[in-house]
Structure 1
Amino acid sequence: MDKFLWLDQIQKSDRSQVGEKAFYLSHLAQRGYPVIPGFAIEAQALREFLESIHWLDPLFADLPNSSLHLDVDNPRQLQLVARAIRQEIAAAALPAKWLETLASISEHLKAPALILRPSLALPSPTGIDRDLKISGLLDAHVCFSSPDALAAAVKRVWAEVFRARSLLFWRRNGIQLQQINVAILVQPLHNSVAAGVLQANSNLWEIKATCGLGIALVKGEVLPDYYQVQPESGAVLMRKLGVKTIAYNLEEHKSWQRIETKNRINLPLQTYLLSEEQQKQYALEEQYLQELIQLAQQFKAEIGSAFTLEWTLTAKASESTADRLYLTKIRTDREMENKATSKQASRKAEENQTIQLKTPGPSIPHLFRGIGAAGGRAVALAQVIIEPSENPETIPTGKILVVKSFHPDWLPLLKQAAGVIAEQGGMTCHAGIVARELGIPAVVGVRNATQSIQSDELVMVDGDRGEIYLLREQEMANQEFVSTGDRLLSMGHGQEEQSSISNTQDPIPALWRNTTASPNAELPLAHTQHPIANAQLPTTNIQYPIVATQLLVNLSQPSAIKRAASLPVDGVGLLRSELMMLEVLEGQHPSRWVTMGQRQELIELLAQAVSQFASAFAPRPVFYRSLDWRSHEFQSLAPLLPTEVNPMLGMRGTFSYVQDPTLFDLELAALHRVYESGYTNINLLLPFVRTVEEFSFCKNRVEQAGLLHKSHFQLWIMAEVPSILFLLPDYIKAGCMGISIGTNDLTQLLLGVDRDRSEMAIAFDERHPAVMKAIFQLILMAKEAGIPCSICGQAPAQYPEVIDRLVEWGITSISVSLDAVERTYSAIARAEQRLLVEGARGYKSQKSKVKSQK
């Protein structure tokens, strides 16, 4: 078979032609490890194919030997060149001999579909860093197993080399096209029961698992099941059930070979919803978990302690067979090796052409655990703040704040921080809310953090896992910390290496790389990104499906406006006035502005701040929530105000307006000023309304301010105090035009759980039956009354499975934090699609029933 090699035929001398991925898998297969059979299309095939094309553009005539001189800093030229090359690759025909071979192979594999993975090797020596990270650069492709579909998929994989982002990557890293060997690993694709990854190092193994094919995990559409394993004994130290609501499998079709390829260029995959019972079960049964651990122990004995295994559990072919665990990818993490290994040992390993990597990785830094309140990772020096009275202005920029609890009036401090660690608080605390909007990691509920961490110690915050790593100086000597978050995992039998960084970050232990940097030198503080993320790739227009349910965003910071306005949102569902106003107040409580005779000045400043949001989103609506001060959170602005015993149930929301309407009137005047300046998309959302009388009082003030007479203006209330479950018709009769369900406070009050107490986080669950029934009742009553019903708490963002029920019940809009917009959009689209499909099936079933009766 010219240019085609079965995995069990690959020899050491074939490494550069079949690429690293196929080479390593072939060695596993030949050593007896469970590897799905497959074959490799050698890299030379791509070169011969490119030379056979009759290029229309002379610029490409000498591919693949051309250096392809183009200006990669010119986005338009880069896109045009990339598109032209890929179009000609797609249009060109493969040699007849190759087509015959592919037809024979696809028939021999006897599978409904195939997965094609790029297997790349950079020849050595080339002057190129062999540790260059390329995961996520070249995408895998899935196709039906017909010869025509396979041939088209092969060309799509080859075309990956010439995508705009690939051309940019080659150029930025000094790689010539003639230096690149891209082979293709082709394997049959079968339905999977589960799939995932095992990340191993000398101290700890971590396993992630999800149901079905691994695509949902790669795309970040599920939170996988998670295990920690002790390497030596294989004992499971910890297991945590994930949040898995969807899964991928192959489409069911009885005539795979007869499908017209030209009409089936999309993936032969289907998404399905997991039942509530399936969601409560671990994806990987105990017997297969133990089998995976045994495989890893065997692997460790052969190659050393640092490696990554990707695996899939294929579904049984018949009742007489069993599910079977396969390894789909192996990566030996060179970065985790001891770089002090002698050059002689390196040369010996190269000569042996095997995967012998015996050197241990570094020791694990000291670990603290808490609640991940804002995703991402950051490495920086710590700044410990024990007393709230400490002046935030004295804190240097770029440090990780370590505090007992975060106070909203420390917002300016948080905006210049690399991350935040707090002893108190939960997912709904202000530290988490603001950190998510600012895009910095936050971990809360970390016990004794201010005593265990000292200022100027180097720490790493992992907001995705809720973990803190204290990196002692001796561990940092002559080394630079490198997070593994830029490495995107291919999940076996699914489309791999998608650019979904935030949800596929590898956990600590982290990787280390030798460097001559001093341990006291300044370290990079940014979240680790994909290696080409900083290369200023030309942007593309993403096509989002049309959805009926409105998607809104929660905001408070003007700095987030530009990013938010570019996302597929229908407006701002919650503009938090307290946090937005902190910048306006310049460290002074608003009542002090009034007493100092600066009322008009404050109105003007507040109007300018609101206008920024109104202008950016016009004509999309912006729902401004009026001030919901909680005394303990703004103590530094007004230290002489009395301290409340229970501020969560104290002088807050509309009750405080009834007691003293001064500040509320000031806000209304500012909103009127915004309307007068031409922005008619501002609406008012009243917070923490306890009684209809409070609402009526506020409505009268709004009317006196001249806002109710504006044609587009809407007056809504937050549905967060449980009394609204009994009084919503009365609120509507009194003039309420819409409601927004605040799941944070609603859950707190229904379950009697302090949302800011990290010790009670386990009891704070928005999915509790009492909470879900309350939400259902509110949506139903709003529908019956003909008013819109939104939801703006943390629940939809944290628990995507809730969105299915919200859409089914008829929620008008869903408003989420900035970091959750895109995944919420996808969840809404899936939920609506499911309802349409179920409706169509029900209609057909009913129609068939009527027809049979006739």
Structure 2
Amino acid sequence: MKSKPNFVVWFNEVTKKDIPLVGGKGANLGEMTNAGIPVPPGFIVTAAAYFDFIEKASLHDKIKTLLEPLDVHDSKQLQEIALKVQKLITEAKMPPETARAIEEAYVKMEKGLVAVRSSATAEDLPEASFAGQQATFLNIQGEKDVVVAVQGCWASLFGARAIFYRQEQGFEHFKVGIAVPVQRMVQSEAAGVMFTVEPTTSDKGKLIIEAVLGLGEMIVSGDVTPDHYSINKKDVKILSKEIKKQEWKLVKQAGAHGKADNIKIDLTKEEQAKQKITDAEIIELAKIGLTLEKHYDFPQDVEWATENGKIYIVQTRPITTLKETAGAAHDIDATVLLSGAPASPGVAWGPVKIVPDPSQIDKVLNGDILVAEMTTPDFVPAMKRAAAIVTDRGGRTAHAAIVSRELGIPCVVGCEKATAILKDGQIITVDGGNGKVYQGKIEVKSDVIIRARGEVKTKTKLLANLAQPEIVDRVAKRDVDGIGLLRAEFMVAEIGEHPSAMIEEGRGQEFVDKLAAGLSTFTKAFHPRQVVYRTNDFKSNEYKALKGGEKFEQDEENPMIGYRGASRYISDIATFKLELAAIKKVRQTYDNLWVMIPFVRTVAEMERT
């Protein structure tokens, strides 16, 4: 970095040392760029440009005057003043030299669609966390529109939630700045995911790549079954390739600025049958994956895309579902009805229940094998009753695969014709570890040894990680000292309604009673052993999906680091009080219930909670 305060800098000019000037997002983009990771190119409008704008537009005193009488606990007043401040910022004229520098940088990166993101930062407040409070603008195109979007990001620094947070934390509004990374949006010809270890078996010697043509979100939705490539990490050679037929692809609709409008395009027969990326691209991508794993010193879950023959890394994060050892492989000698991708290990048998639509999930009873084209969140209640899951479409990162691993039940995805070949009531056996479906009932001896309670004494407590009431009695019989993490999310999802909506309808006590009933299932089964309950850590997109949630939740670019956990409790006090009332109700009968507060960003935040 140069010593003078540049208003526009390129990713390769910054490092993690420049966080006060370019924010955490900008610094991370710089780190990855300088590490040789091919992130989509871009530049950062620095916090210095924002402070210069506030000074030259003479906004400091005007904003201060608006904020002085504000009571942030008066929600109506907070919203009104936030809108007034934002209007001041968006209607003020940006200094011509700053606007010109932004336009010139956009032209230099060859224009096209870009994402304009916010990254708040404060040099004197290292303990501050501003994640999820500011705006993001996607699919922006044209010099003038980029300048307007940057100014929109500046204005979002005074959104209602951001003002509330700073006031509650005792931060001075004018000590907090905002940097704005502007990054090219990849118009992916092919896209997918990469795991630097095998995700189903946790085999650290293999690297796995899944690929589709078009946009990558089709993989998670399970709308198509991706190609699957396995690579030996030691010599970076391809071990195996599974090429899957893809009938259509998703692409960004031209001109859909600021919207997530995607369109389906049918593929030709030649395109449907082709390998999604070349062998050379598979090897190149695998090498990038190994570089990422080495850079972050941990196995990575990577999202990637290709454009004009070049590979870009869109996102990388640590893999959180690793197992120390894989379960034993089962050699079953029986008639194979179907083969697909092994998505969740284990062997289970039961009667087939074909569910063509989530409106028919009630037909799935405990111990049935759920068979569907693919699953969505609406299938979850039935998935929790199923002994195993089989789907026509999807890969190892599709919804069915992720939820099955969470539930600990076998799953085979991408079988293509499961709903056509299998019949309701037919007895089948599902081998999720090998991706096979067999005719009839096959019982396989488990390689898991379950000890009786008290058989082994340890100085360290052995505590379970639980969320599903359906398995609590089984786990409670095992040699564990209690529950170290009882997650609220399954119970809240079962209630199915946004708590704020229930409060608005005068049904807050109903929420309390239902949550208390769910908690009691666990405390009763484990009493007197401790049960540590992690209060609800739903993210804004998950809250929004609940009945009535649309009214109470805003869209966030990255809900994972947004409005959640402790920061939510101190601003949405009414909902948190319902949860505390449920905890209090349970403790009147079961004194083994403990509480954990999730996603605490600062000590002050915890004190307020």
2:311 counterpart letter in structure 1: L
Shift of 1:16: 3.0
Greater alpha carbon shift after TM alignment, 228-237 vs 33-42 = 228-237
Deviation string, structure 1 residues 371-426 (Cα, Å, up to 9, x no partner): xxxxxxxxxxxxx9999xxxxxxxxxxxxx973669xxxxxxx9999923415887
State yes or no: 1:297 paired with 2:290. yes
State yes or no: 1:324 paired with 2:310. yes
| In 1: Cα distance, 2:222 partner to 2:61 partner | 40
Change beyond 3 A, Cα 1:77–1:287: farther
Q: Which residue of 1 aligns with 2:118?
A: 118
- What does 1:80-479 correspond to in 2, within 5 Å? 80-119=80-119, 126-127=126-127, 134=131, 138-144=135-141, 146-163=142-159, 182-189=178-185, 191-200=187-196, 203=203, 205-214=207-216, 231-232=233-234, 234=236, 239=242, 241=244, 245-249=248-252, 251=254, 266=258, 271-275=263-267, 277=269, 278-315=271-308, 323-331=309-317, 363=324, 403=367, 419-423=384-388, 446-447=430-431, 452=446
- What does 1:560-575 correspond to in 2, within 5 Å? none
| In 1: Cα distance, 2:208 partner to 2:69 partner | 42
Deviation string, structure 1 residues 145-178 (Cα, Å, up to 9, x no partner): x321110121233344455666677789998756
The answer to whether the Cα contact below 8 Å between 2:389 and 2:410 also exists between their aligned partners in 1 is no
- Partner SS, residue 102 of structure 2: helix
Of 13, 31, 38, which aligns to 1:34? 38
Shift of 1:25: 2.6
Shift of 1:478: 9.1
The answer to whether the Cα contact below 8 Å between 2:302 and 2:315 also exists between their aligned partners in 1 is yes
Q: Which residue of 2 aligns with 1:10?
A: 14
- What does 1:780-791 correspond to in 2, within 5 Å? none
Shift of 1:300: 2.5
| In 2: Cα distance, 1:67 partner to 1:441 partner | 54
| In 1: Cα distance, 2:542 partner to 2:165 partner | 10
- What does 1:615-630 correspond to in 2, within 5 Å? none
Shift of 1:100: 1.5
Deviation string, structure 1 residues 451-503 (Cα, Å, up to 9, x no partner): 648899968799xxxxxxx9998999996488999xxxxxxxxxxxxxxxxxx
| In 2: Cα distance, 1:184 partner to 1:103 partner | 14
Deviation string, structure 1 residues 721-749 (Cα, Å, up to 9, x no partner): xxxxxxxxxxxxxxxxxxxxxxxxxxxxx
The answer to whether the Cα contact below 8 Å between 2:119 and 2:181 also exists between their aligned partners in 1 is yes
Deviation string, structure 1 residues 507-546 (Cα, Å, up to 9, x no partner): xxxxxxxxxx99964366999742675599974499xxxx
Q: Which residue of 2 aligns with 1:522?
A: 531
The answer to whether the Cα contact below 8 Å between 2:209 and 2:228 also exists between their aligned partners in 1 is yes
The answer to whether the Cα contact below 8 Å between 1:41 and 1:185 also exists between their aligned partners in 2 is yes
Change beyond 3 A, Cα 1:39–1:386: closer
Change beyond 3 A, Cα 1:276–1:311: same
Q: Which residue of 2 aligns with 1:576?
A: none
The answer to whether the Cα contact below 8 Å between 2:116 and 2:136 also exists between their aligned partners in 1 is no
Shift of 1:24: 2.6
Shift of 1:246: 3.6
1:287 counterpart letter in structure 2: A
- Partner SS, residue 33 of structure 1: coil
| In 2: Cα distance, 1:269 partner to 1:303 partner | 34
| In 2: Cα distance, 1:159 partner to 1:222 partner | 40
The answer to whether the Cα contact below 8 Å between 1:196 and 1:310 also exists between their aligned partners in 2 is yes
User: What percent identity do the matched residue pairs reach?
Assistant: 17
| In 2: Cα distance, 1:368 partner to 1:168 partner | 54
Shift of 1:329: 4.0
Change beyond 3 A, Cα 1:362–1:267: same
Q: Which residue of 2 aligns with 1:547?
A: none
- What does 1:46-61 correspond to in 2, within 5 Å? 46-50=50-54, 61=65
The answer to whether the Cα contact below 8 Å between 1:214 and 1:248 also exists between their aligned partners in 2 is no
The answer to whether the Cα contact below 8 Å between 1:460 and 1:471 also exists between their aligned partners in 2 is no
| In 1: Cα distance, 2:279 partner to 2:69 partner | 53
The answer to whether the Cα contact below 8 Å between 1:193 and 1:313 also exists between their aligned partners in 2 is yes
- What does 1:361-760 correspond to in 2, within 5 Å? 363=324, 403=367, 419-423=384-388, 446-447=430-431, 452=446, 480=485, 521-522=530-531, 529-530=538-539, 533=542, 539-540=550-551
- Partner SS, residue 97 of structure 1: helix
The answer to whether the Cα contact below 8 Å between 1:90 and 1:155 also exists between their aligned partners in 2 is yes
| In 2: Cα distance, 1:200 partner to 1:143 partner | 33
Change beyond 3 A, Cα 1:3–1:289: same
| In 2: Cα distance, 1:174 partner to 1:220 partner | 46
- Partner SS, residue 196 of structure 1: strand
The answer to whether the Cα contact below 8 Å between 1:10 and 1:23 also exists between their aligned partners in 2 is yes
In structure 1, stretches of 5+ residues that fail to align are: 253-263, 316-322, 337-360, 370-383, 388-400, 407-413, 463-469, 486-516, 543-854
| In 2: Cα distance, 1:538 partner to 1:68 partner | 27
The answer to whether the Cα contact below 8 Å between 2:22 and 2:46 also exists between their aligned partners in 1 is yes
Shift of 1:292: 0.6
Change beyond 3 A, Cα 1:442–1:324: same
The answer to whether the Cα contact below 8 Å between 2:118 and 2:180 also exists between their aligned partners in 1 is yes
The answer to whether the Cα contact below 8 Å between 1:206 and 1:226 also exists between their aligned partners in 2 is yes
The answer to whether the Cα contact below 8 Å between 1:18 and 1:43 also exists between their aligned partners in 2 is yes
Q: Which residue of 1 aligns with 2:357?
A: none
- Partner SS, residue 189 of structure 2: strand
- What does 1:809-848 correspond to in 2, within 5 Å? none
**TM-score between the two structures when normalised by the length of structure 2:** 0.51
| In 1: Cα distance, 2:218 partner to 2:390 partner | 30
The answer to whether the Cα contact below 8 Å between 1:309 and 1:327 also exists between their aligned partners in 2 is yes
Deviation string, structure 1 residues 86-121 (Cα, Å, up to 9, x no partner): 444332321111012122212222233333233455
Change beyond 3 A, Cα 1:423–1:222: closer
1:327 counterpart letter in structure 2: I
1:403 counterpart letter in structure 2: G
1:211 counterpart letter in structure 2: L
The answer to whether the Cα contact below 8 Å between 2:45 and 2:102 also exists between their aligned partners in 1 is no
